[in-house]
Structure 1
């Protein structure tokens, strides 16, 4: 077969010999399609049916039934501690301080010596008063002898009755002078005693505010100098304010005979200090104010608390728990089993077919890890207490029973430590 003609160098037409046929370009299959075909061929298993993946087992969870027992609700308030007795130590007499006889911040007992004021001026006054008393007594003796002499002479008319009356009056005046001198001497001796300032009560003393060598003013001047202060520690008061709603609730319980009034009965309280997780001190209510504060709508209340270890100081804060209801039967579950769903509280319950159900509940007070459930549960329900994050509503789980919670004894009161 000849190809098309071409012109040579000499201008003559030339012919080029070509192949008799043109071989077609081979067709290349894309690598992606080839890979899919190979995978499909492998999965086909030479015509055998494909096997399905095994379903995962139900997740394991721990369940527990609610504990049923008699509980008593406790209301909590924020309180501040104050000393039962507090005194500001001031001198009764003025003078220069000789010495300070206590250690700052130590425990002192009633009658312990605290300060010594220079007693020499008062000792001099006492000696003067003693001399005046001796002079007054001598005048009494003289007046008595003159009166006796006058009474003898008046019988012989040697003296008149007027002279006898004058001598009798002189004796009475001498007796009065003795009484006055005795009082002056007693006051002088008291001033000497007051130069030794002692502790008026047992408690913890503050720091000394006056050092030796300083002049202090006594109470007779009207502006006595503050030397230090002492507060008693055992027992100690805790003051707290009760809101009006709680007061009305307590009054209603008292009228119904379900709770004694704190005005008539020393209702027990429990105190939790800062940094503590449970009450550490016991006490009792001993005062309720006679009116509500019009600015805050609260009632000032006071409890007296034992402080035998002296661990509480006036001015501290504490959480005060007060009995807030009559004893009643309740269901309790571990507090870790309670979850929050937006604005409501729920627990996850395992139904008889081992599927999970979310149950809304109404919570009560907490007591040592157990939460009172007022509504939403039955005593036979199985509540998930461990593995809540693996539970899904409507899905099956593998439940296993939990150990009995601590303190789950029938008849025990929630929060009752006594």
Structure 2
């Protein structure tokens, strides 16, 4: 093949284009290998003496709660309270139709009087026969019969007296009173409703002051607190439990452990406890959720990091730190109790480490970082916003 000057120019132009394209491709690979640093905020691991607190999610329950049921059957003819009312111990609540019970009482009283008269007559007969027997004027069998009749009539008097007492009790039970002070629910029955003795729930009554907060703790936590309290039971912790409500506010009054379950729950291996809190204003109501806060030990030279810096995935806990050459480095950690918005680090970090607080989601392992250091005071400011 013979190359002409024109074809030489074409070959030179084609070669120049190939070189330009190759240089452009090399330039693209060079840019992809050096991404710009990711801007993150980090904070130095805090080392300080820290009083540890332990928090447990609990539910407010009534200290005493009872379903009010009638001891007698009948229709409710009078209702003295409204659903949701606060009531005092002994206050009348409902009245059941008492006419049949009044009639039963009158009948029982009449039968008692009749049996008492019969007993009186049989007693007089027995006294006369005793005198005649002492004079040997009658056979001994006649006296024995008279004495037996007297004992039978005395037993009948006792039976009728018991019937009267039962009828009086039934009549009294037609008026249903509060067994203790508290608040009645709004699902109470209305006038005219028929109630079956011992079966129909007329209303539910719950105490409001004091009130319980029920929560659970693990076996290790129970043992730890027992050692801290120098007692054999959490009831020795004293009256220093605090309560955080669901809106983040702190309940103004402290409480104490009043009940501890007899053992661990077999399905969860946790111990159920009930803390009592006075509730004079009625702020705490059954069904509410709150966090019980208990004071623990003082950790000397504890390592602390912000809670929001901790990542949890598939049961594992880790953080992202600023590693060598300002590159992101995931680090598995073992966390301890929470302290406010901080978290105690048990294992995995040193005071020299810098933990990424904001932006770790955009910084996988090895990512170059543009680090802005945070002061612990900024965490408090952010929490108030």
Sort the TM-score into its range (normalised by shorter chain): 0.5 to 0.7
Change in CA separation of 1:279 and 1:102 when aligned onto 2, cut-off 3 Å: closer
Shift of 1:90: 1.0
Q: Unaligned 5+ residue runs, structure 1?
A: 1-62, 348-357, 379-391, 407-418
- 2: CA distance, partners of 1:292 / 1:335: 33
**Superposed displacement of residue 259, structure 1:** 5.2
Name the structure 2 match of 1:87.
Answer: 66
Q: Whole-Å Cα distance in 1 between the matches of residues 205 and 259 of structure 2?
A: 23
Aligned partner of 1:290 among 248, 254, 263: 263
Within 5 A, what are the aligned runs for 1:56-205? Answer: 69=49, 71-74=51-54, 76-205=55-184
Residue deviations 1:142-176 (CA, integer Å, cap 9, x gap):
11111111122223333211111111111111211
Q: Paired residue for 2:288?
A: 316
Q: Helix, strand or coil for the counterpart of 1:158?
A: coil
Report the CA distance between 1:135 and its aligned residue: 1.1
Cα distance in 2 between the residues matched to 1:104 and 1:193: 23
Partner SS for 1:116: strand
Secondary structure of 1:315 counterpart: coil
Conserved 8 A contact 1:332-1:370: no
Does the 8 Å CA contact 1:362/1:376 hold for their aligned counterparts? no
- Size of the aligned set, in residue pairs, is 311
1:233 aligns with 2:213: no
Find the aligned partners of 1:333 and 1:188 in 2 and give their Cα distance.
Answer: 72
CA contact (8 A) 1:339 1:346 kept: no
Assess, with a 3 A threshold, how the Cα gap between structure 1 residues 240 and 145 changes in structure 2: closer, same or farther.
Answer: same
Name the counterpart of 1:306: 277
Report the secondary structure of 1:72's partner residue.
Answer: strand
Q: 1:346 to 1:321 in 2, by over 3 A?
A: farther
Deviation at 1:183, TM superposition (A): 0.5
What displacement does 1:370 show? Answer: 7.1
Q: Distance in 1 between matches of 2:214 and 2:334?
A: 31
Secondary structure of the residue aligned to 1:218 is: coil
Q: Who is 2:243 aligned against?
A: 271
Query: Deviations along 1:159-196, whole A, 9 cap, x unmatched?
Result: 21111111111111121111111101111111110100
The two structures, once aligned, show a CA RMSD in angstroms of 4.3
Query: Secondary structure of 1:327's match?
Result: strand
Q: CA deviation at 1:227?
A: 0.7
Distance 1:340 1:171, change over 3 A: closer
CA shift at 1:328, angstroms? Answer: 3.1
- Measured in 1, the distance between the counterparts of 2:320 and 2:182 equals 49
* Alpha-carbon shift at residue 67 of structure 1 (Å): 9.1
Question: What TM-score, normalized by structure 2, do the two folds share?
Answer: 0.66
Report 1:38-49 matches (<5 A): none
Deviations 1:100-142 (A, max 9, x none): 1112111112211111111111111111111111111111211
